[in-house]
Amino acid sequence: MFARLLTLLAVLGLATVSAHPQNLESLPPYKPDQKITGTVRLFGTPLAGLVKVWEDGFRKYHPEARFEDSFPTSEGGVAALITGVADIGTGGREPVLNEFLGFNEAFNYDLVDITVGTGAYDIKGRTWALVIFVNRDNPLTKLTMKQLDGIFGAERTGGYSGYKYMPQAGRGAKDDIRTWGQLGLTGEWANKPINTYGYANTGMTNFFQLKVFNGGDKWNPNYRQYVESDTKMVTDEANSSYHMLAELAKDKYGIAWCGVPHANKFPELKLQPVALAKSDGGPYVLPSRESVQDRTYPLARSIFLFIKHPPKQPIDPKVKEFLRYVLSREGQQDALNHKVYLPLTAEVVREQLKKLE
């Protein structure tokens, strides 16, 4: 099966990557700036146990440091900062509008979200990458992000960046893509409608809107919504993500976004997901563990630690030192060894370290 897939990729000219172990040598090694004592309070999600792993690694350098953890839900990380019960919020998803806005209203400056890892590739429930699938009879192999917006989105006047509504994120109805012919398919496909499938309101949906709609929230009117299977959100299996994929397997003109671990349960879907390009002209990248980790795949996701950083004031030394460890070669090696989330690239680490200045 793997050899057949590689041959198919070569024929199609789609980008893939070699499955070499991730090299973290380009990341900065951890060197303590100062001795840390006292307690750091964290609130939110344990990130599948990774936060505890980071704490243990940090204490090897700062044995007098202590951690006070409360991990009821990912939804509580930003709220805990607002109410003052935490020094660091933990999150397995991007903050939403009300969290950005509520934080600013409480402190009159903006929330700082630090990307501390890349989401999983194929582990259900672990900030998985969004993947595009079509019916097995569909000849489509690749899309740009703009085309993805045209398929799933609709005319809009703007989109949110944090809590600010940005008119430059708007687009007109002329960019709508509603038939397969608009994507270059010919013959019987040319005038057939594109039927869209995906999730109802969740963290994954918020991410899709941020990345594909540039923060907008207007969807194709025929968009069919489902919720994650095997969760408390399901009240009727006809509204679950597994049912969605079963429907896609029967719908010749359908397209859906979901996760690799979900689609793996449906071998009757097209073997290969759709390759995506960030801009016109490519490269078109297929989802894989490696392309998600190195972020060449456009719909790779992130996990976060949230902090307070008043303008022109230093960050709490305990918080800053812990984040420096998490973003170091040693901290990212912890993530790699943990085998749930994926480590960051050197470029992303540099971007996040700048937020601590």
Model pLDDT, residue 230: 65
Comparing CA positions, the residue from 127, 119, 83, 98 lying closest to residue 308 is 83
Paired sense of beta strands 224-226 and 195-199, if any: parallel
pLDDT in tens, 281-329: 889 999 999 999 999 999 999 999 999 999 999 999 999 999 999 999 9
Domain annotation for the chain: domains and CATH numbers = 38-124+301-354 (3.40.190.10), 130-286 (3.40.190.10)
Q: Is the pLDDT of residue 191 over 90?
A: yes
Over range 149-163, report the average pLDDT: 98
pLDDT band at 188 (very low <50, low <70, confident <90, very high): very high
The pLDDT of 253-259, averaged and rounded, is 96
> Are the CB atoms for 293 and 118 separated by under 8 Å?
yes
In this predicted structure, the answer to whether residue 249 has a pLDDT above a threshold of 90 is: yes
Percent of all residues in the chain with a pLDDT value above 90, rounded to a whole number: 83
The pTM assigned to this predicted structure is 0.91
Give phi and psi for 5, each to the nearest 5: -65, -40
φ, ψ for residue 240, nearest 5 deg: -95, 160
Average pLDDT of the chain, as a whole number:
92
Q: Which of 154, 131, 143 is nearest to 245 (CA)?
A: 131
Predicted local distance difference test score (pLDDT) of residue 142: 97
> Is the predicted pLDDT of residue 346 greater than 80, yes or no?
yes
User: pLDDT above 70 covers what percent of the chain?
Assistant: 92
pLDDT (tens digit per residue) in 88-146 = 999 999 999 999 999 999 999 999 999 999 999 999 989 999 999 999 999 999 999 99
Query: Whole-angstrom Cα distance, residue 213 to residue 210?
Result: 6
Question: Where does the pLDDT of residue 355 fall: very low under 50, low under 70, confident under 90, or very high at 90 and above?
Answer: very high
In the block, tokens 């170091």 appear at 328
The DSSP output letter for 33 is: S
pLDDT band at 12 (very low <50, low <70, confident <90, very high): very low
**What CA–CA distance (Å, rounded) separates 121 from 136?**
22
Per-residue pLDDT at 1: 37
Please say whether the dihedral angle defined by the alpha carbons of residues 263, 266, 267 and 270, taken in this order, is positive or negative.
Answer: negative
Q: According to the model, what pLDDT value does residue 240 have?
A: 76
Decide if pLDDT at 229 tops 90.
no
Binned at pLDDT 50, 70 and 90, residue 6 comes out as very low
Answer whether residue 238 shows pLDDT above 70: no
**What are 31-50's pLDDT values in tens digits?**
999 999 999 999 999 999 99
